[in-house]
Structure 1
Amino acid sequence: MRRSLAGISLLGVLALTMAACGNSGNGDGGGSQAGAGPVTITMWTRAATQTQSERLVQQYNKTHKNQVKLTVIPTDNYQPRIAAAAGAKQLPDVFAADVIFVPNYTSQGLFLDITDRVAALPFKDKLAPSHIRLGTLDNRMYTLPHTLDLSVWFWNKDLYEKAGLDPEQGPKSLREFAQQATAVQEKLGGDGKVHGTFFGGNCGGCYVFTFWPSVWAAGGQVMNAEGTQSLNDQPAMTEVFKIWRELYEKKVTGPTAKEEQGPTWTGFFPKGEIGVMPMPSTTLGLMPKEMKIGVAPISGPDGGESTFVGGDSIGISSTTKNADAAWEFLSWTVGDEAQVEVMAKNKDVLARTDLAENTYSAEDPRVVLINSLVAKGQTPYALRFGQTFNDPQGPWLRYAREAVFGDASKLPQLNAEITKSLQQ
């Protein structure tokens, strides 16, 4: 998830290219359609969502006269490539983007207005609401959900049983989470190989992905709706930090949590070394087949449930000359065939809430649970998200680290710095 949340916001860079790109704003523009025969459109995606994108493109190409030529770009290079292509008016026909950064792209006119096209979809009200919200600007729609990755709690049933816990009962609140993690640590952590829990303690995106859902589940917020004021000093966030700080101080989190910068934070649970921890939902299908894993929604200190709805959105570039062919592909990706026979078949989270229960997910109640959280989760909106929350030098990571490991007296000033960064 560090990679899916990492990167820099390109608001300033893209501002320089806005005039070069423009935006039709009419809902179905984008230049003349190329020819009367089959059309090959170009698509870009970042490596973090390569697997899902390749599956969708391969199936589409097998079943349609029009074709899609996919280019996968390293995640860390993706935003600079988009900025450069925008400046040169060489954007592909369609491109995906981390949903968190979509507001930057829409505000700079890089996507075609597809409001009227989306409105004609029979399932328009069933599309992942968080992705739709971040792809909407001034009541006009510019993107569709492409891939989804949710934050959930995984627990290791074998370790629970060895620790004297009920292996079929995962945590229903953050306090229960802490109790169960502590029990695993106390019963099994003596040899230093097993730990109660783990988290990315030096990774801004990891905190966002795994801690914020507990705030939302408690009825709190981390920012105002405009994404210009930090609310991380409010009681819900304060209590979440307190619980995690206690886990760290009791050595329940493992010795490397404080230094974990993100690249390896999800690698310990699959090895059977962690009792219970927040994980990306997309890793469920990658777990060892013999591993007995429970899945629970992330809860607040005293209950509730929520999730960080991450992943990618996808849109048609504002400079395309193949708008109709591009829309044919995009609309197909959220249709029944693609969502069930491509996404659900491979245990991916679906972009539509009405398909949460389907032929494939019914085989695994955990998948049904994950899909059901799409409508309950949130994706925070802020034009300055990258600089504020993902940048290793940004104010959020300093705030989180002081809250969990350091000096709480510094938090008011750091919270003010978060707000200042959001407003720049």
Structure 2
Amino acid sequence: MSLTRRSLLALTGAGAVGGLLAGCAGNLPKINTSAASFGRNGSGQVEVWCRAATQTGIQVIVDNFHRSQDRIRVRVTAVPDAQFVTKLATAIRGGRVPDLVDFDDINSMPFIYRGAFANLTDPISKLPNSQDLSPGHLNLATVKGRTYAMPFLADNSVLFCNTELFEKAGLDVDESTKSLETLLEAARKISKLGNGIYGWSYPGNSEGALGFTVQPHIWAANTDLIKGDLGAQSGNVAGNGAVRATLEFVHSLWAEKLVPPLSYADDASHWGSDYLAGKIGIFPASYGAVVPAASKDMIAKTTIRLIPGPTGGRRFFDGGDNLCMLNGAPNASAAWEFLAFCVTPSQQQHLPEGGYAPIRSDAATPAFRKQFPLAVPTLDNIKLGYAPKTLAYNLIYNQSDGPWLAMFRRAAFQGQVEAAMEEAQKGYDRIFAEAQA
């Protein structure tokens, strides 16, 4: 969710994708990924489009791939995040596609649903230790038992906790992060420390960041704001107890002044700066929003916990990127060789250097744990990652006029929780009716 969720861009919605493709994806030649020769002894050039946010990370792996063999060359083209969906849809319509795209995982499904990506089920199943791949990322790429993308990098939401502030407030991190009630009490005690210190921080005017960090509270209660099968979905907001409890929690944070005043208008342009300054006790965010810019002192007093539900449980947002192979890819077999190289544990272990986490649990070797301790909790709990599989994510969660942000702001800042939920239910249902038409 991004830049992932960090730049929080409102990309083209599912309905617009369908209009741009207009059936053209089905005309792309299917790639036979089950052929005995597929992915063996490839040669020539592989064209990869990546989001501008991930260019540095993928280029490191490209350079390593070039050093490992001399048959295949990979050319990476960076595409601005806000242009990616439209550019890819236009390429598909024109029948001139790259071999691979490094694509935000929540944006993959509209293209999968319309037949743009190759079926990678068979080659993925043959990868060594494929059972260690992130199930949440794979779920976002799977329809009717077939998988159409490979998880590549993870951008997960977790709770960053300032242990120094916890100690000053007389709090235990584990006991304080078990539920919304314990989180609220911890935020109260940390805020009482004064000197510009607050218990919590959220960017209250950033739809993408809020979707990334608030939804896991709801998922931890084993429910979602969306119900139904892909293509026949509707909202699950009105009457949802976990949604109500979560919105009451974020309202209490605001009403009791447990978040900075800037939270009301923050569009994520200030996201993380207050935590990095040592002024926030609990900060829901991603690895890349905190760790790369943190001082050694801040890292030393930071610990991570997964996001709890209203009365327990824990989840995190499985954001990040998939590598997707286009049907009609000019050099598909060589592209698979590169793709398989990208997800080897040795290459995945470099991802935290660029602000991302690996998408396979076996990357967490003893050496990795020592070098990147704050990237380990999600790997050790990889089955707790989740993101909703839907055709309408961007229209609901990444648009400034979407129902998600409107619900959050009305509930958090006005305290009108029930009315906000009822209004959001109508908005969700309207968007699904349009996106699934």
Query: What 5-or-longer segments of structure 2 have no aligned partner?
Result: none
Q: Which moved more, 1:18-27 or 1:221-230?
A: 18-27
Q: Per-residue deviation at 1:380?
A: 0.5
Local SS of the residue matching 1:237: helix
* Corresponding position: 1:395 with 2:403: yes
Question: Is 1:165 the equivalent of 2:171?
Answer: yes
1:100–1:381 CA contact under 8 A, matched in 2:
yes
State which of 95, 107, 128 in structure 1 corresponds to 2:101: 95
Matched-pair identity in %: 27
Q: Judging changes above 3 Å, is the alpha-carbon distance between structure 1 residues 49 and 401 closer, same or farther for their aligned structure 2 residues?
A: same
Once residues 354 and 383 of structure 2 are traced to their aligned partners in structure 1, the CA distance between those partners, rounded to angstroms, is: 20
Cα offset for 1:2? 4.4
Deviation at residue 347 of structure 1 after TM alignment: 7.2
Conservation of the 8 A alpha-carbon contact between 1:200 and 1:207: yes
Question: After superposition, where does 1:250-329 map in structure 2 within 5 Å?
Answer: 250-286=256-292, 287-291=294-298, 292-329=301-338
In the TM superposition, residue 335 of structure 1 has moved relative to its aligned partner by 1.6
Distance 1:413 1:168 in 2: 36
User: How far, CA to CA, are the matches of 1:278 and 1:293 in structure 2?
Assistant: 12
Distance in 1, matches of 2:343 and 2:147, equals: 15
Shift of 1:362: 4.2
CA contact (8 A) 1:170 1:296 kept: no
The 1:260–1:273 alpha-carbon spacing in structure 2 relative to 1, beyond 3 Å, is same
Contact 2:276/2:290 (8 A) holds in 1:
no
SS at match of 1:290: helix
Distance 1:161 1:188, change over 3 A: farther
Secondary structure of 2:222 counterpart? coil
C-alpha distance in structure 2 between counterparts of 1:354 and 1:37, whole Å: 27
CA distance in 2 between counterparts of 1:197 and 1:37 reads 52
1:57 aligns with 2:62: yes
Matched residues in 1 for 2:383 and 2:82: separation? 29
2: distance between equivalents of 1:178 and 1:269? 17
Q: Does 1:73 align with 2:82?
A: no
* One of 406, 418, 421 as aligned partner of 2:431: 421
Post-superposition offset of 1:54: 2.2
Task: Determine if the alignment matches structure 1 residue 230 to structure 2 residue 235.
Answer: yes
In structure 1, runs of 5+ residues without a counterpart are none
* 2:389 aligned residue (381, 387, 394): 381
Q: Please say which of residues 316-325 and 78-87 is displaced more in the overlay.
A: 78-87
Q: Is the 8 A contact 1:175 1:301 kept in 2?
A: yes
**Amino acid in the other structure paired with 1:50:** Q
Is the contact between residue 2 and residue 263 of structure 1 (CA under 8 Å) also seen in structure 2?
no
Instruction: State the one-letter code of the partner of 1:220.
Output: T
Whole-Å Cα distance in 1 between the matches of residues 167 and 206 of structure 2?
Answer: 31
Change (3 A) 1:7 1:93: same
Secondary structure (helix, strand or coil) at the match of 1:275 reads strand
Over the aligned positions, Cα root-mean-square deviation in angstroms equals 2.6
Instruction: Count the aligned residue pairs.
Output: 418
Partner of 2:199: 196
2:48 corresponding residue in structure 1: 43
User: Is structure 2 residue 222 aligned with structure 1 residue 212?
Assistant: no
| Alpha-carbon distance in 2 for matches of 1:289, 1:225 | 46
Task: Note if 1:355 corresponds to 2:363.
Answer: yes
Q: Does 2:413 align with 1:405? A: yes
The residue type equivalent to 1:108 in the other structure is: R
Of 125, 130, 143, which aligns to 1:137?
Answer: 143
Correspondence for 1:12: 16
CA contact (8 A) 1:316 1:323 kept: yes
TM-score for both structures, normalised by structure 2? 0.88
SS at match of 1:118: helix
